[in-house]
Amino acid sequence: MVRPLDGITVVSIEQAVAAPFATRQLADLGARVIKVERPGAGDFARGYDESIQGQSSYFVWLNRSKESLTCDLKSPDGVAVVERLLETADVFVQNLAPGAAARLGLGAQQLRAKFPRLIVCDVSGYGSTGPWSGHKAYDLLIQCEAGLVSLTGTPEQPAKVGISVADIAGGMYAYSGVLTALLQRGITGEGSVVEVSLFESLAEWMGSPAYYTAGSGRSPARVGMEHATIAPYGPFTVGDGAVVLLAVQNEREWKSLCEQVLGDPALATDERFVRNSARVANREELNALITARLGRLDEAQAVSLLQDADVAHARVNDVQGMLDHPVLSGRGRWRTVGTPGGPVQALVPPATVSGVEPRMDPVPAVGEHTDQLLAELGFDADGVERLRRVRAV
């Protein structure tokens, strides 16, 4: 099967989440991704937990379909191996500590001077320039600095997002940036530099609350599972104790909710609730009315009424509920992927391209492909032994 990125080689000095997420998606599309890891422990994300057959849940998620090469980048011989890989590579991705790549001779401009067709993607916390270029950046730090934590949680207590949203945002922009650079190279024949900052990635995702704050002079309130600027939009407990989330996005849905679910068509034109801004201002009264009605129904009855009324709604699942969700099984979204600890189930990438089956190859062990890759680079057995003797690989 031909995949969109067949024939593209990516070399990545990566760790944790953002860069590995970007390169895994490139691998999904057929790119050959060579992951450069430290000898011994490898990517420190391998040690985050042991939850998936003795392996890290983060690492298994982010690193399928890659080849692992161990190199000591503090060794000139180790750096020389990476440079030999880059002679024929199409893309280089790195998310080392600020300034580390340049100190190794692997900075973006240094590499572009040597390899004009190479696309270099640098992922950092706050960018390579500016007053915070040297700051360390982890996901929760970025969530705090970008203002996201001020929006999540309850009025009394802020909370972080429960997944690595800043890293994921950065990884997505690195992925799309590399794809864009590959398209550009197809036109110009020249490589380019893609720079992605986790802070700027999450700042982009903060667009709606940013405009709301700039325009109104106040930040959106923290309202738990409710929506700060739309109502009714949040969880409601039904008669059997289950929780159902309503999400009324327009006046048609509001009218339908009043007529078919609440059984009170007059509410649709009640001055307290006649438009979304009024409903937000009178949220407590509105929620009390909805809770009183839904409290007389069990979950099945409530869901059936909402479905018939064409009002958007959801159950409030836990993670196991997501794993067991009928949409994922019904649409055939699971595949078996090999790992050093045994096979696991993995989700097919969300973007389905007609005629293309995504690559879903195994997660590598640390250094699993080192000897094979060194042989491809022209090292004979004595050369490989020398590199191992000096601990360069």
Catalytic, out of 167, 240, 308, 361 = 167
CB of 34 within 8 A of CB of 12?
yes
Helix (H, G, I), strand (E, B) or coil at 10: strand
For residue 164, how many other CB atoms are within 10 A of its CB? 22
How far from chain centre, in Å, is Cα 371?
A: 32
Instruction: Return the ∠ at Cα 232 (arms to 226 and 235), rounded to 5°.
Output: 45
Q: What is the dihedral of CA 52, 56, 58, 59, to 10 degrees?
A: -110
Orientation angle between helical segments 165-188 and 198-205, nearest 10 degrees: 100
Residue 227 dihedral angles phi and psi, to the nearest 5°: -100, 135
Orientation angle between helical segments 198-205 and 207-216, nearest 10 degrees: 60
Joined tokens for residue 375? 């042989």
Query: What's the CA gap between 299 and 365, in Å, rounded?
Result: 46
Query: What's the CA gap between 235 and 57, in Å, rounded?
Result: 30
Joined tokens for residue 182? 């590959």
Query: What's the CA gap between 148 and 345, in Å, rounded?
Result: 32
- Is 167 annotated in the active site? yes
For residue 374, how many other CB atoms are within 10 A of its CB? 22
Locate all alpha helices (DSSP H) within 217-347, ordered by sequence. Answer: 251-256, 276-281, 283-294, 299-309, 319-323, 326-330
Task: State the DSSP code for 220.
Answer: P
Query: What's the CA gap between 91 and 301, in Å, rounded?
Result: 54
Which residues are paired to 60 by β-bridges? none
Fill in the amino acid letter for 104: L
Residue 339 dihedral angles phi and psi, to the nearest 5°: -140, 165
* 3-state helix/strand/coil string of 94-160: ECCCCCHHHHCCCCHHHHHHHCCCCEEEEEECCCCCCCCCCCCCCHHHHHHHCCHHHHCECCCCECC
**Catalytic residue set:** 167
